[in-house]
Amino acid sequence: MKSAPFWKFATRLLRRKKLAVGTIVFSVISAGGLAAGLVSIGPLLKLILAGSGNDNLQTIVRDAVTKTSWLASIVPSTLLDALPTDRFAGVALILSALCILTVFGGLANFAHQYCSTTLSMLTVAELRLEAFRHALRLPLGIVVRRGPADIVTRIVRDTAELERGFSAVTSKVLAQLTKGLAAFGAAIWFDWRLTIVAIIVAPVLGGVLRKFGKRISRGSGRTMKAYEDMLRNSNEALQGLRGVKTATAERAARRRFGRANKDLVMQDRAVRLARAISSPLIEALAIIAVAALALLAAHEIIQGRMQFDRFLLALASIGFAADALRPLTSLFNDIQAASAPAQRVAELLAIPAEGMRERDLPPLPRHGASTGAAIVFDRVRYRYEGAERDAVREVSLTIRHGEFVAIVGPNGCGKTTLASMLVRLFDPCEGSILIDNIDIQAASLSSLRRQVGVVAQDPLLVRGTIRENIVLGLDGATDAEIERAMRLAHAWQFVAALPTGLEHQLGEGGTGLSGGQRQRIAIARALVRDPSVLVLDEATSQIDAESEAHIAAAIDDFRRGRTVIAIAHRLSTVRTADRIVVMEDGVVRDVGTHGELLGRCDLYQRLVHTQLVS
């Protein structure tokens, strides 16, 4: 069932027992006040319209209690004796009681609304956090294939739609349902025959609700997908606005967004049409049902088998019940509309996350602690999902501990994919990767990534201070350790020159720093972790030659006792490497020193003359 995920998530509402109990109790109290008010109208009318002085509140209530055995057993006679015998005093007492009930019911309704909305909000906030935490632990390959827009939509928009469904259940449906049942109870008190007929009509209305609910649920799913496509188009255009402008592609971007926007409007219009039809249809069926009840009652009144005042009170109570239950049409539509986003959130949470067996795996010992320590790629193959060919195939490579290895090759040859597998951003389709004779898939993921520092070509910088960006994900780093890492990364000089130094605030994506400065901050972030393996993926691509020379000298000092793997495009970096790995089409073509490769590898010679810059 498509609505099953919604109700499964709805059970989380019960985890907050105090709020859940308060929601139910205050709703029942509020509805009880309505029922008491409806029942009191009968005595009130009798007192006001009575033709003789014999009818008074005490007599009316005593007769009603006597006719109902269960009431007679619980209502004390002293209470009945205390009721006034004067008609006006009886009217005043009933009206005073109604005023008190109104105030008390209003307070109960306020408490119910507060408890229900708070319960829905906190439950969805918890679910949203869980979904985001799970998304962070998803394998990178799945995120790349689905696209960030799909996942962000599920975390943000779909959970917001889910909150609307929760609010409909806890706040509105519960309130309207209890009021409707209370009014039906009053109607049974006045005349059970009319009420039974009204209840028989209910399944017909329920069937109509169910049919429209299914249509709304299917339409909501298509609307979510259309919204996701529109979000993806807008993100692509605005995040790549520099490229859009330089390619004069504004019109093409506008057309793509326009098509996505038009599709969203079409899907949303279908859902709104179903919503618009359902309410008047239910109302029309309800009016027909009331007319049938009136016809039945008229026959009974003419035959003398029903009192006219009892009929009016019963019909009024049924009317109150119908009025209370009428909004359930749109509320059930809200619940059905929330079923589609609930399904999408459930699908996200069902994707297996990284490190699912984390607790069962031992930590990876620090690289280099064992004799003959090495990093070994053993016949590794990897293909991206949906690709027609392998990104990396049959790669066998051994990197000794403390060695500086540079990986070079044409764009798309598999360099970054190979380095990404070392930190398990991707797991090999075939083959294995070992660090010191331990398969990295047999060790805990967190212990592996604590040992491998990675500096990417496009570094991650978040809104916050420079200090916060350097220690991102690391607890307990001292100022001395941060300063040392920044000096090694050749970043201390420009940071110290800023008015607030390490506390300098960066904008989104590191706005306020040049490309080279952003990369040096990223290098400092990797170095402050004191990794045993350092992976530099085009890490100096945006740094001038002088700064790179300083960084190269610092890394040369830093790498003592550590392993460094550099995906490089600068000849100066490649020349200083202990060995150079030449890749093409996902395959290792040759391995050797700069001089050896210049003498025997045609591909390396071409790279030196065409791609590697000095």
pLDDT, residue 378, reads: 94
Mean of the pLDDT values across residues 427-456?
A: 89
| pLDDT higher than threshold 70 for residue 416 | yes
For the ranges 348-362, 409-423, 515-529, 547-561, the maximum mean pLDDT occurs at 409-423
| Higher pLDDT among residues 553 and 12, named by residue | 12
Task: Please provide the CATH number assigned to the domain covering 4-350.
Answer: 1.20.1560.10
Residues 6+ apart with CB under 8 A from 390: 381, 382, 383, 429, 586
pLDDT, residue 39, reads: 62
Least reliable range by pLDDT among 255-269, 347-361, 451-465, 570-584: 347-361
C-alpha atoms less than 13 angstroms from C-alpha of 256 in its C-beta half-sphere: 16
- How many whole angstroms separate alpha carbon 578 and alpha carbon 106? 80
pLDDT, residue 573, reads: 75
pLDDT, residue 69, reads: 57
Please, what CATH class does the domain formed by 403-420+449-610 belong to?
alpha beta
Q: Where are the chain's structural domains?
A: 4-350, 403-420+449-610
- How many whole angstroms separate alpha carbon 147 and alpha carbon 223? 18
Would you place residue 390 in the very low, low, confident or very high pLDDT band (cuts 50, 70, 90)?
A: very high
Q: Residue ranges of the alpha helices (H) in 492-591? A: 492-496, 515-527, 545-558, 571-575
- The SS3 call for residue 611 is coil
- How many whole angstroms separate alpha carbon 378 and alpha carbon 372? 16
Would you place residue 142 in the very low, low, confident or very high pLDDT band (cuts 50, 70, 90)?
A: confident
- How many whole angstroms separate alpha carbon 378 and alpha carbon 220? 48
Secondary structure element (H or E) that encloses residue 392, with its range: strand 392-400
498 secondary structure, DSSP code:
S
| Mean pLDDT rounded to a whole number for the chain | 78
Q: Which of 211, 117, 214, 103 is nearest to 172 (CA)?
A: 117
- Give percent of the chain above pLDDT 90: 11
